[in-house]
Amino acid sequence: MKAIPLREVSSDMSSQKYKRTNFVDDEGSSEGGTPPGVTYNPEIVFKVGTSMWQDRTILERLFAILLLALTLIVVILAIILATKHDKIQQLTSKKEYCLTPACITAASALVNSMDRSVDPCEDFYQYTCGGWIKYHPMPQGYSTWGTFGVLWKQNQLVMKNEIEKPMSDMKCEAERKAKMYYESCLDKNETIQELGAQPLLNFIRDKLGGWSISDRAGPFDPSNWNFQDLLTKIHRFNHATLFAGGVGGDDKNSSRNILQVEQGGLDLQRDYYINKTIDDDKYLSAYLKYMTDIGVLLGGERNATEEHFRDVLLFEQSLAEVTTPSEERRDEEKLYHKMTVAELQEKVPFLNWLNYFNDMLLDTRVQIDQSEELVVFAPEYLGNVSMMITEMLKNDTQKRVLHTYMVWGIIKSLTSYLSKDFKDASKDLIKVFSGTTGEEEKWRTCISDTDDKLGFGLGAMFVRATFDGNSKEKATEMIGQIKRAFKANLPNLKWMDAATRKAAREKADAVIDMIGFPKFIMDPKKLDERYEKLDIAPDEYFQNNLNNMRYSFNRNMEKLRKPPDKTSWGMTPPTVNAYYTPQKNEIVFPAGILQTPFYDQNYPQSLNFGGMGVVMGHELTHGFDDQGREYDKNGNLRPWWNKESVTKFKNATKCMENQYSSYKLGDENVKGKQTLGENIADNGGLKSAYNAYMDWVSNNGEELPLPGVNLTQKQLFFMGFAQVWCTTSTAEADHETIIGDPHSPGKFRVIGTLSNSRDFSEQFNCKKDAPMNPQKKCEVW
φ, ψ at 17 (rounded to 5°): -115, 115
Q: Which helix (H) or strand (E) holds 729?
A: strand 727-729
- Which three-class secondary structure state does DSSP give residue 293? helix
d(CA 432, CA 209): 33
Could you tell me the sign of the dihedral formed by the alpha carbons of 294, 299, 302, 305, in that order? negative
d(CA 101, CA 616): 26
Would you tell me the crossing angle of helices 396-414 and 227-235 to the nearest 10 degrees? 10
- Compute CA distances 278 → 272, 284, 289, 318, 398, whole Å: 10, 5, 11, 13, 19
Beta bridge partners of 514: 588
- Which three-class secondary structure state does DSSP give residue 580? strand
Q: Give how far the C-alpha of residue 776 lies from the chain's centroid of Cα atoms, to the nearest Å.
A: 29
- Which three-class secondary structure state does DSSP give residue 444? helix
What single-letter amino acid sits at 451?
Answer: D
Beta bridge partners of 247: 259
DSSP of 15-35, one letter per residue? Answer: ----------PPTT-STTSPP
Burial class (CB in 10 A: 0-12, 13-18, 19+), 244: middle
Q: Which of 167, 173, 169, 125 is nearest to 146 (CA)?
A: 125
What single-letter amino acid sits at 731?
Answer: A
Could you tell me the sign of the dihedral formed by the alpha carbons of 145, 146, 150, 156, in that order? negative
Could you tell me the sign of the dihedral formed by the alpha carbons of 564, 570, 574, 579, in that order? negative
Is-contact 83 22, C-beta < 8 A? Answer: no
φ, ψ at 98 (rounded to 5°): -80, 115
DSSP state, 303?
H
- DSSP tally for the chain: helices H, then strands E: 32, 12
Is-contact 651 495, C-beta < 8 A? Answer: yes
What single-letter amino acid sits at 651?
Answer: N
Q: Give how far the C-alpha of residue 248 lies from the chain's centroid of Cα atoms, to the nearest Å.
A: 23
Catalytic residue among 8, 123, 183, 619: 619
d(CA 403, CA 625): 41
Q: Is 619 a catalytic residue?
A: yes
Sequence-ordered strand ranges (E) for 460-594: 512-516, 579-581, 586-590
Q: What is the 3-state secondary structure (H, E, C) of 622-645?
A: HCCCCCHHHECCCCCECCCCCHHH
Q: How many CB atoms lie within 10 A of CB 261?
A: 24
Sequence-ordered strand ranges (E) for 78-143: none
Q: Which of 330, 312, 502, 339 is nearest to 400 (CA)?
A: 312
Q: Using omega within 30 degrees of 0 as the cis cutoff, is the peptide bond preceding 199 cis? A: no
d(CA 280, CA 344): 40
Is-contact 260 246, C-beta < 8 A? Answer: yes
Q: Give how far the C-alpha of residue 201 lies from the chain's centroid of Cα atoms, to the nearest Å.
A: 37
Catalytic residue among 682, 732, 734, 736: 682
Is-contact 409 267, C-beta < 8 A? Answer: yes
- Residues near 399 by Cβ (< 8 Å), separated by ≥ 6? 222, 225, 227, 392, 393
Is-contact 387 242, C-beta < 8 A? Answer: no
Q: Is 682 a catalytic residue?
A: yes
List active site positions: 619, 682
